[in-house]
A and B are shown apart, each in its own frame.
Chain A
Amino acid sequence: MSAVAGANPRNFELLPKGDANGGELLEISMGPHHPSTHGVFRMDVVLDGEKVVKLKPVFGYLHRNHEKIAEGTSYLASMPYTDRLDYFCSMTNNWAYALSVEKLAGLTVPERAEYIRVIMAELTRVLNHICLIGFFVQDMGALGTPLMYAFRERERILDLFEELTGARMMCNYLRFGGVRCDVSESWLKRAGEEVVKLESFMDEFEQLVAQNEIVMARTQGIGVLPRELAINASITGPMLRASGVNYDVRKVDKYGIYDRFEFKIPLGEHGDLYDRYMIRVLEMRESVKILKQALRDIPDGPIMDSKAKLRGFRPKPGEAYGRIESPKGELGFYLISDGSPNPYRYRVRPPSFINLTILEDMCLGQRVADAVIILGSVDIVLGEVDR
């Protein structure tokens, strides 16, 4: 046993000798191992009865030095590592990284590859939102039934990914100037069938959850994120749109070939939990629309830019910022090249991390049970928050 002075386990004192709150408030450390903090996240909550008076998010338990490691290795070697950022959506992470490298090196992407990227990104969006709404209702205490329904659909999408890329979650599928391997006719046919099934799932899930009295009582008017605060805190993604701000990188930047598809951006009005939930449901329906168009229109052709080379890849000195609308918000990669095979600077703009900054503002004055579902509605993945 350790010989540290005063570390005798028999003598330790648990009762506080007068805490900073005058003994009136209860300070709870929720996490890092707690059933519903979505990974190794900790909330230092000060409670007055059940009401939250102070909340401090604590993270960094999953810090892996992602950015520095990427600066020490070649551009391509970082591609599989981006899978591990937001491990629910490896495809969109790949795309954001590929997009910034393509900007840096001036590569173009063939038509067919662009369509495949859109299909993958939208499938990922559906996948992420399905998981999110499942976990969200789980956090409300619905004992896994909605979660299991959601995971049934997720499995089907993961099967599609597995058939195409060989991996279910860590797909490592995109390459600079294209994608790693071509999709087959049979895969496209199967994807089309799965997309149709997704629609009926959404109808079923809406019946189960969206009109439930308890869900409405728990979510409407709770955890409101005002429009101004959302803009000032540079919140992006469904969180921002639930507060009524029309901002979607797919529409603003029209990166890839998003200008060719017919889809709309659902906007919330109240910015509360119910809006954040419903925006995601509606976004999934829009994604299904995009998927149907993409699967219908996908042309034949090459899947890699002929100029792109995997070995000896040295972009000219310069800098580039590529951003996409990932399911969680604006995911950007900022790269500086000094002409060497490694990036000089590699920086990730993680949407979950920035969306998490206003957690305390949303939770203050709410109950502790609400704090849990407010955290759930932010949609964080600790792999991306801590990097």
Chain B
Amino acid sequence: MVESLDQLFVNLKHWALGFLPEALQPLVSAVLSIVPLVAVFGGLFAIVTIFERKGLGRIQNRYGPNRVGIPFTDIRLAGFGQFIPDGIKALIKEDVVPRAADKVVHFLAPVVLLIPVLLTYAVLPIGRNMTVVDFDAGVLFFFSVGAAVEISVFMAGWSSRNKYSLLGAMRGIAQMISYEIPLILSAVTVIMLVGSLKTSDIVAAQAGFTAGLPNWFVLTPWGFAGFVMFLIAALAESNRAPFDLPEAESELIAGYFTEYSGFKFALFFLGEYLGMFAIIGLGITLFLGGWHAPFPFLTWVPSYVWFMTKLLAIVFFFIWVRGTLPRLRMDQLMSFAWKFMIPMALINLVVAAVWHFMAGTGAARWVVCALLIAGPYVLLGRGLMENKHLGKRTYRFAD
């Protein structure tokens, strides 16, 4: 029973394929994998936008959308139907293209954003045996396809012929390229330890429990440091606050999609959220044990439920950060990436290697690895803050 629930969708697909002639099976199999994936994550996007607006509303001492249900009916869903009118609005809105814009590139930019983002889902193991393409260079594929997003940002910024768009695109590209390095370097530690780029192998390496705790990489010193860096870089990669400089509202109106309206804007929005889910999904795969359950007594819950739960938990964390922190400045953002994140990621590589070679030494390798991370962290942090003189101040009072 538990087994069949876990493999429900896999079995369903194989059962449906059985009715088809042999020649058609590869094609239909691909369609049967892609369509549910796009539908599920598209639906997740719709729900998360409401989730985000409600969550931000609560953080900001207001309600957020709490009325809309299904349009033209009396069904009220406490605001969770909001995405339907939002979508209708985006579809029927006038699509304004600036007269001086490069119309072809302007049109292509949101499409170019969406396609690579959707491609990255191919290698994500969403559940047990539920990877669309489980091939040997999975993580490499994810990063190389994901890097194509920068082209879209540049296309949007350049073709709009708007100075705000251009500035936003400049910032966006600089930021994405800078943060891709710590992102990949922190992922490399996992690949080093597992010895495979295949995502299902990485998940399999984190199976099982030790002393009631899961064997997730996040519960090791190098894995924890790697996961924190991965999350920070993922925030920057998906242009979320406090790294939302490419679309900094108070300076650049809306950054590189200032000149987009109607459905093209909605596509940018969709692409950005799907990109965020994909990168969180990879983070879960690399550090949080993929679809594995966190406790031994919970292993009966289907694997895809665990994946989605972890995904939503991190999305909630992102919303929380967005509702709390102000934005960094561009030069601070870049110096944080190059002076802090990248050195720490390189040190973390060494720590992961030390962890590997000290296998079997018990507590000693925990102490050594923790010190190897904490020492540079403190030194680097002190060194960077030394000549900045930031801190609380005391004020004098005159009568």
Q: Is B397 an interface residue (CB 8 A)?
A: yes
Q: Is B325 an interface residue (CB 8 A)?
A: yes
Contacting residues, chain B, for A368 (C-beta < 8 A): 167, 251
In angstroms, how far is the closest chain B Cβ from the Cβ of A61? Answer: 18
Q: Is B330 an interface residue (CB 8 A)?
A: yes
Per-residue interface assignment for chain A, residues 129 to 157, with 1 indicating a CB less than 8 Å from any chain B CB and 0 otherwise = 00000000111111111001100100000
Of the listed stretches B30-38, B74-82, B193-201, B241-249, chain A binds B241-249
The reply to whether B398 and A246 form a contact with Cβ atoms under 8 Å apart is yes
Q: What are 19 pairs between A and B in contact, CB < 8 Å?
A: A9-B99, A28-B163, A140-B327, A141-B241, A145-B324, A210-B392, A211-B392, A213-B390, A214-B328, A216-B391, A218-B329, A246-B398, A265-B398, A267-B395, A274-B393, A369-B245, A369-B248, A369-B327, A372-B250
The reply to whether A268 and B61 form a contact with Cβ atoms under 8 Å apart is no
Contact of B329 (CB < 8 Å), options: A211, A282, A367 = A367
Roughly how many angstroms separate A265 CA and B100 CA in the complex, as a whole number? 55
Roughly how many angstroms separate A213 CA and B99 CA in the complex, as a whole number? 43
Q: Is B389 an interface residue (CB 8 A)?
A: yes
Q: Is B253 an interface residue (CB 8 A)?
A: yes
Contact of A212 (CB < 8 Å), options: B326, B329, B330, B393 = B326
Contacting residues, chain A, for B323 (C-beta < 8 A): 143, 145
Q: Is B3 an interface residue (CB 8 A)?
A: no
In angstroms, how far is the closest chain B Cβ from the Cβ of A261? Answer: 12
Q: Is B11 an interface residue (CB 8 A)?
A: no
Q: A140-B326, A215-B326 are in contact. Are A36 and B61 (CB under 8 A)?
A: no
Q: Is A279 an interface residue (CB 8 A)?
A: yes
Per-residue interface assignment for chain A, residues 189 to 230, with 1 indicating a CB less than 8 Å from any chain B CB and 0 otherwise = 000000000000000000000111111111011000000000
The reply to whether B325 and A212 form a contact with Cβ atoms under 8 Å apart is yes
Closest residue of B by beta carbon distance from A282: B395
Q: Is A275 an interface residue (CB 8 A)?
A: yes
B312-334 residues with Cβ-Cβ distance < 8 A to A are 322-332
The reply to whether A138 and B250 form a contact with Cβ atoms under 8 Å apart is yes
- Additional 10 contacts, C-beta under 8 A, given A28-B164, A269-B396: A50-B331, A140-B250, A144-B56, A145-B323, A210-B392, A214-B327, A215-B326, A264-B397, A267-B395, A274-B393
Q: A26-B167, A265-B399, A267-B398 are in contact. Are A143 and B390 (CB under 8 A)?
A: no
Residues of chain B whose beta carbon lies under 8 Å from any beta carbon of chain A:
56, 59-62, 99-100, 161, 163-164, 166-167, 241-242, 244-245, 248-251, 253, 322-332, 388-393, 395-399
In angstroms, how far is the closest chain B Cβ from the Cβ of A33? Answer: 9
Contact of A148 (CB < 8 Å), options: B62, B253, B326, B393 = B62
Q: Is A341 an interface residue (CB 8 A)?
A: no
The reply to whether A216 and B398 form a contact with Cβ atoms under 8 Å apart is no
Per-residue interface assignment for chain A, residues 348 to 386, with 1 indicating a CB less than 8 Å from any chain B CB and 0 otherwise = 000000000000000000011110110000000000000
Contact of B332 (CB < 8 Å), options: A138, A217, A269 = A217
In angstroms, how far is the closest chain A Cβ from the Cβ of B269? Answer: 16
The reply to whether A264 and B398 form a contact with Cβ atoms under 8 Å apart is yes
The reply to whether A149 and B330 form a contact with Cβ atoms under 8 Å apart is no
The reply to whether A36 and B251 form a contact with Cβ atoms under 8 Å apart is yes
In angstroms, how far is the closest chain A Cβ from the Cβ of B343? Answer: 19
Q: Is A35 an interface residue (CB 8 A)?
A: yes
Count of chain A residues near B, Cβ 8 A: 54
In angstroms, how far is the closest chain A Cβ from the Cβ of B254? Answer: 9
Roughly how many angstroms separate A221 CA and B61 CA in the complex, as a whole number? 32
Residues of chain A whose beta carbon lies under 8 Å from any beta carbon of chain B:
9, 12, 14, 26-28, 34-36, 47, 50, 137-145, 148-149, 152, 210-218, 220-221, 246, 251, 264-270, 274-275, 278-279, 282, 367-370, 372-373
Contacting residues, chain A, for B100 (C-beta < 8 A): 12, 14
Q: A14-B161, A35-B253, A145-B60 are in contact. Are A367 and B331 (CB under 8 A)?
A: yes
The reply to whether B395 and A266 form a contact with Cβ atoms under 8 Å apart is yes
In angstroms, how far is the closest chain A Cβ from the Cβ of B177? Answer: 16
Top 8 closest pairs, chain A to chain B, by CB: A141-B327, A264-B397, A140-B326, A36-B250, A148-B60, A14-B100, A142-B326, A246-B398
Roughly how many angstroms separate A28 CA and B323 CA in the complex, as a whole number? 29
Roughly how many angstroms separate A220 CA and B387 CA in the complex, as a whole number? 13
Roughly how many angstroms separate A333 CA and B327 CA in the complex, as a whole number? 40
Closest residue of B by beta carbon distance from A209: B326
Contact of A279 (CB < 8 Å), options: B161, B322, B326, B395 = B395
Contacting residues, chain B, for A215 (C-beta < 8 A): 326
Closest residue of B by beta carbon distance from A50: B330
Contacting residues, chain B, for A212 (C-beta < 8 A): 325-326
In angstroms, how far is the closest chain B Cβ from the Cβ of A262? Answer: 9
Contacting residues, chain B, for A367 (C-beta < 8 A): 329-331
In angstroms, how far is the closest chain A Cβ from the Cβ of B252? Answer: 8
Q: Which of A14, A141, A215, A268 has the most CB of B within 10 A?
A: A141
Contacting residues, chain A, for B326 (C-beta < 8 A): 137, 140-142, 212, 214-215, 218
